[in-house]
Amino acid sequence: MSTVPAELKYSKSHEWVQDNGDGIVTVGITDHAQEALGDLVFVELPEVGRKVGVEEACAVVESVKAASDIYSPLSGEVTEVNAELVDAPETINQDPYAGGWIFKLRLADPAELSALLDADGYAQVAAEG
Amino acid sequence: MPFIPHTEEDVAAMLATIGAGSIDALFEEIPPDLRAGPLTGIPPALSEMEIGRLMQARAQADGQALCFIGAGAYDHHVPAAVWQIASRGEFYSAYTPYQAEASQGTLQLLYEFQSLMTALTGLDVSNASLYDGASALAEAVLMAVRANRKAKAHRVLIPRALHPSYRRAVHSIVHNQGIELVEVPFDRAGGHTPVEQAQAAAGDQGFAALVIAQPNFFGVLEEVDALTDWAQAQGALVIGAVNPVALALLKPPGAWGAKGADIACGEGQPLGMPLASGGPYLGILCCKQGLVRQLPGRIVGRTLDLDGKPGFTLTLQAREQHIRRSKATSNICTNQGLLVTAATIHLALLGAEGLARVAAACHANTRRLSALLCEIPGVEPLFNRPVFHEQALRLPAPAADLLRSLAAHNILGGYDLGLDYPELDPTLLVCATETRTEEDMLAYAAKMARVIATRTQARCPVEPKFS
């Protein structure tokens, strides 16, 4: 059974969002997502400064089986990316909710946060596959 | 006998299983205007014997002309062993038997091909080939634009001195993908593409990549170091479009400038493929390690199996069409397996030294031919810079007329450059590979001298007997 931390918000496309409280959020993929993808071998990060919209594909994670898009759960501007993933993509498999974060976003509209799922809501989505 | 495995009963059983009343009913959802109608202009079927005779007659009409045409496809000697081995059943008949890693022999051959291509281009990785040189260049352009996100510009600089067919193929493939191709003029004295011309073409706007043809369509050698350094200093990637035989003598793209070209592509035909009216040929595509995830097509890797024994496997497939669908790196997920087999055997037979000798012989022959032709009044080199194995010659009469007269003497005299470069008319592009002998070249020069003399003399010195 994969873990779903209660303090985070989630998207239906298996990204997690941590609200840092200063208008910036951290985004990664869930434990369930990393498990489904298998061993990750490559991460293509978004460019810092890129403006993204809700559900816009902005990063790619590649496992030995497949390359999958990561969608931005919220709209805003990319302020930082986790460059350590370039050399160690497996960090996402090992530590999806902390060391495996992918990018940070300055929110365009903090109200969008309320549209995200909570842990219980996401646990249901993950259980349905 | 129709070689179709399904009997009428088979077809009926299949239709019944899926619940379609007839073949027509099966395809009903395709609108009538999109369906292929009956073939028109195709004569009634001939028997095998009749078609054999027809093809022999057609082949005879082609004759055994002496070929001095290059212009992208080259008449090299292919050792008999190449196709003797390539036509073995193990290589010849099986279609992509490597997908389930079943045929280790085929996979190893593709791996060896890739190793040969990286050795020739001086780059880190190669794919298992594409369809031809022109489509390989189009893929290289798409790669460069995808990879060079920093440039933020979907503009690619393409020299006018690049093969016209390559320019047209690249345009066809990329122009609907929002990529702008900017033409870089060539120097009228040298026939090369100077950095200043590239600078002027680029203007103040950024560009994602510069294409460098080495040698270019005129056979002229480009200043690859200066062009590469300049383009990379602008934040652009460099794509080398190269002739694999020339690479036996010239600096490989991986060593151009301070950092080396980022991508190299080329036409593999000179490596063991007959001219065959233009195909099938094979496309070469290599790149630096950092771009490997943008490299389309099949890539074979060497690995160890569970028992620690070496083996070969398809690798980096995650970005191909069957997994990434519309987001795949390319709509092409296949390679030219049989021609790769021939090219690999050809290169293995020649070796590095043999390939360098072929390249040197081509260069020497073309210089000799050019010198012989330039003894004819009115014929002179169009450009003053060094060439590999082709030379553009200015003529005193229309190239098409001279070529027609030469063809009547069973000589294919070259390529009429005026067809693609009206500003250079009348100019002929000639090529003499290692297959042309001194006698061949003397015969060509003698015929050319006579043909030009009859065209350029104001009046025929012999008066007609009856007027």
- B405: domain CATH number? 3.90.1150.10
Q: Let me know if residue B27 belongs to a domain.
A: no
Using a CB–CB cutoff of 8 Å, tell me whether B146 touches chain A. Answer: no
**Which of the residue ranges A11-20, A104-113, B26-35, B303-312 would you say has the lowest mean pLDDT?**
B26-35
Both B328 and B406 in one domain: the answer is no
Q: Let me know if residue B62 belongs to a domain.
A: no
Distance from CA of A7 to the nearest CA of B (A): 33
Closest CB to A66 among B149, B293, B318: B318
Both B338 and B439 in one domain: the answer is no
Residue B359: the pLDDT is 98
Distance from CA of B88 to the nearest CA of A (A): 34
Q: If you average pLDDT over residues A95-121, what whole number do you get? A: 95
Both B290 and B213 in one domain: the answer is yes
Domain with B383 in it? 351-456
Q: How far apart are CA B23 and CA B46, in angstroms?
A: 27
Both B166 and B252 in one domain: the answer is yes
Q: What does DSSP assign to residue B130?
A: B
Long-range Cβ pairs for the range B309-313 (8 Å, 24+): B311/B101, B311/B104, B312/B101, B312/B104, B312/B107, B312/B108, B312/B110, B312/B111, B313/B101, B313/B107
Q: Splitting chain B (467 residues) into consecutive groups of 10 residues, what average pLDDT does each group show?
A: 82 94 90 84 90 93 90 97 93 68 87 98 96 96 89 90 98 93 98 98 94 98 98 97 98 98 98 92 96 91 93 83 77 84 97 98 98 97 97 96 95 97 96 97 97 79 60
Q: Let me know if residue B52 belongs to a domain.
A: no
Please name every residue paired with B7 in a beta bridge, in sequence order, or none if there are none. Answer: none
Structure tokens at A126: 């993950």
Q: Looking up tokens 């062009």, which residue turns up?
A: B227
* Residue at a domain's end among B287, B320, B344: B344
Both B192 and B142 in one domain: the answer is yes
Of B349, B379, B358, B342, nearest to B92 by C-alpha is B342
CB pair distance less than 8 Å for B293 and A64: no
Both B168 and B129 in one domain: the answer is yes
Q: Let me know if residue B70 belongs to a domain.
A: no
Q: Let me know if residue B296 belongs to a domain.
A: yes
Phi and psi at residue B211, to the nearest 5°: -95, 130
Tally A–B CB contacts below 8 A: 19
Both B255 and B390 in one domain: the answer is no
Residues of B in contact with A62 (CB under 8 A): 293, 318-319
Domain of B165, CATH number, reads 3.40.640.10
Structure tokens at B18: 């899926």
Both B334 and B376 in one domain: the answer is no
CA geometry: angle at A14 spanning A9 and A19, to 5°? 25
Q: If you average pLDDT over residues A33-44, what whole number do you get? A: 92
CB pair distance less than 8 Å for B323 and A64: no
Residue B466: the pLDDT is 64
Task: Work out how many domains chain B is built from and give that number.
Answer: 2
Domain assignments of chain A as residue spans, ordered by start = 12-112
Please name every residue paired with A117 in a beta bridge, in sequence order, or none if there are none. Answer: A10
Contact B212, B227 (CB under 8 A): yes
Q: Let me know if residue B451 belongs to a domain.
A: yes
Q: Let me know if residue B128 belongs to a domain.
A: yes
Residue of B299, B313, B323, B326 to mutate when probing chain A, most A C-beta within 10 A: B323
CB pair distance less than 8 Å for B318 and A44: no
Q: Let me know if residue B26 belongs to a domain.
A: no
pLDDT at A11 over 70: yes
CB pair distance less than 8 Å for B324 and A67: yes
Residue B457: the pLDDT is 76
Q: If you average pLDDT over residues A84-94, what whole number do you get? A: 95
* Residue at a domain's end among B344, B361, B393: B344
Q: What does DSSP assign to residue B313?
A: E
Residue of B299, B315, B324, B333 to mutate when probing chain A, most A C-beta within 10 A: B324
Q: How far apart are CA B120 and CA B251, in angstroms?
A: 9
Residue B87: the pLDDT is 93
CB pair distance less than 8 Å for A66 and B323: yes
CB pair distance less than 8 Å for B319 and A63: no
* Residue at a domain's end among B309, B344, B379: B344
* DSSP string over B339-388: HHHHHHHHHHHHHHHHHHHHHHHHHHHHHHHHHHHTTSTT-EES--S-BS
Please give the model's pTM, rounded to 2 decimal places: 0.86
Using a CB–CB cutoff of 8 Å, tell me whether A80 touches chain B. Answer: no
Q: How far apart are CA B288 and CA B284, in angstroms?
A: 14
Both B386 and B307 in one domain: the answer is no
Both B390 and B295 in one domain: the answer is no
Fold assignment, A12-112: OB fold (Dihydrolipoamide Acetyltransferase, E2P) (2.40.50)
Residue B231: the pLDDT is 98
